[in-house]
Structure 1
C-alpha cells in the first residue's frame, strides 16, 4: 500500500474517526485506525464497537487532487501515535507506505517516521446496512434536533435506556425525546417525503453528541438508516454507525400537563442571565436550586439562597403573567439547559402549581418542548 495525500484532508479525517476510538476497549486492534487505500480514494475507520466512523477522502473532487500515486492496500495503525504524527508533520503533503511485513513509513518534507502496522484483515468488519429503509434530513435540522434534546439524557447507568434519545417516526412526524426522569426535552419535525416504515429506536446520547461534533454545518442532507440493532448516519464523505440501546423507552407523553394555572411570557436571554446570576449563590449540593415568585405589575422575583454563603435577589420584568400567583423552586442548571436549547427570543412557561411539572416552549413554535420537575424546599 502506498499513497501521497494532502495533510489537511488527512488531519480532518483522522480527527473525525478518533472520536470513535477508545483506549478502554476489549479488542486491542480497535485502538488503531484502519486505513484502506483504493484507486478512487482513501477510507479511514475508527470504532469502539459502540460507535464506528468511516471517513472518506476522494482521490479528486471538483478538480482538486487530494490523493495521488495510489497503490491499493490496507493497514491498521496505532491511533494515538498516528494522529499525533500527522498533526505535527512539517509539509502540506504526506507520503504513507506499507510493506509486506506491515512496516509503515510516513514521510513529509525531511521528517520520516517508521511505525509498526497491524493486519487489516483482523479488523472487525462493519455491518453493511441495507439503505432501502431510510430517511433524509438536512444536516442543520438534524444537528438542532440533537442539540435541543441530547442534554436531557440520564448520565446514570441504573436505567440504561434513559441514557439515550428516543427517536420515533410515525405518520410523517419525526420525534426526538430525552429524559433523565427529572426533566424532559422533546423536539418534533414534520417530514414531507418518507420512504421508510415507522421507527422507534433509542440511540445512545454519547453517540449523538459525537455525531453532532463531526457533522459540518452544511445544507446537505444526512441519510438515516435503521436496522434491528444499529443506526447509520450517512453524510457526504462520512458514515457514522451506532448501536441502538435495548429495551422499551418509557411513555413520556402522559407527563405533559394539558392545562396550566399560571403562564409567564418572558425574554429568553433575560431570564437565562437572571437565573445564571441567582445560581451563583444557590446551594451546590441541592443541584443549585433557585426560587421563582410572581409579583404584581408583570414582575417575577428570582432568589438564590444558601445560608452559609449568602443570598441573591433579582426582579425581572416579563412580557406578561396570566393566572394565579406562584412560588416555585427548581434546579437552575435544568432551567438554563432548557432555555439554551430554545433558539427563540421569547418563551412561554406554563405552570400547574408549585409541585407539578412545568413546561417551557418558544413563544411561536410548538415543535420544541422542555419539561422540568420542581424541587421541594422546606
Structure 2
C-alpha cells in the first residue's frame, strides 16, 4: 500500500467519532463554556497538540460557536498542517490574515493559527506571560503516549492557566486485537510485541522530568514546567498503558480528574453492505502497516511468520471480514 499520514488521519475520522465518550465530551464543552463566561470580553485560548488535519479543531470550534476562541493548531507534520488549513478554511468559513492565521468571516469570532513544532520545543518558546500559563484549554487526541504521561502533563500544566482544562481523548489502554483469530498463539505474540514497541526512549530537557513516582529526583523538575536547566535526559514513553497512566499521574502533575470514560475503536464490516464504511478499509490497512513497520526488526518475531500473519490479515481485509478492537480512554483534567 502507499501510505499517506494525512489520508490515514482522514480515514480514521469516522472511527474517532464513534469512539469518543459522549459524556466526557459534553462535560468538556460545558466546562470550556464556563471558563469563557468567567472571562467576558476575552477570547477563550485553546491549544491543540498533535492536531493532525484539523478534524477535532473543526468540531470544537463549531460547538463553541457562541464563544470567541483563539485556537492554536500544533503539529510536527507540515502536510498535516497544510490539509488542516484547507479543511478549517472551508468548514468554518475562515480566511487567511496578514500574520498567517485564519479569522472568521461569518458571525463567528474565531481566530486560528498554525504552528509546525513538537510539544516540548513549543512549550519552551510560547510563554506569553512570565510565570503563568497562556491557555484556558489544551486538547490532545491520541498524542500523549508519544512522551511519558507525567512529562506531557507537566508541560500541559505549565501552559495552562489556573483552572484550565486538558481534554485528552482516545488514548490507548492495553488492548489491540485483530479478529477473527485463526492462530491464537501467533496473534497473541504479535500483539504483545506490538504493544512493547509502543514504549520508546526519547531525549528531552531535564526541566520536564523526572518521574514523580521514581527515586531519581532532582531540583530540575518543577511542577509548572518552568525552565531551570537544559541538560538532556533519556525517558521512556508509557506506550500501550497511556490511558490509565493519565489517571494515575494526573494528581502528581497538579491536575484533578474531572471525568473519564472508554473510547474504544471498533472497526468491522457494515452488516447491510458487507463492506467497510467511508475509508475505514484504508484505516485498517494503515493499522496493519503500523504493525509491520514496528515488528520488522523485532528479534522476538520470526520474519517469515510475521509475513504469513500479515498476508492472512490482508486477505481478511480484502474479503471484508477483518475486524479491529482497540481499548482507549478519554480523560478530562483541570489544572489546580
Q: Would you tell me which structure has more strand in proportion to its own residues?
A: 1
Give 1 or 2 for the bigger CA radius of gyration.
1
Decide: shared fold, TM above 0.5: no
Q: Which is bigger in relative contact order (C-alpha 8 A, separation at least 6)?
A: 2
TM-score by length of 2: 0.20
Q: Would you tell me which structure has more helix in proportion to its own residues?
A: 2
TM-score by length of 1: 0.18
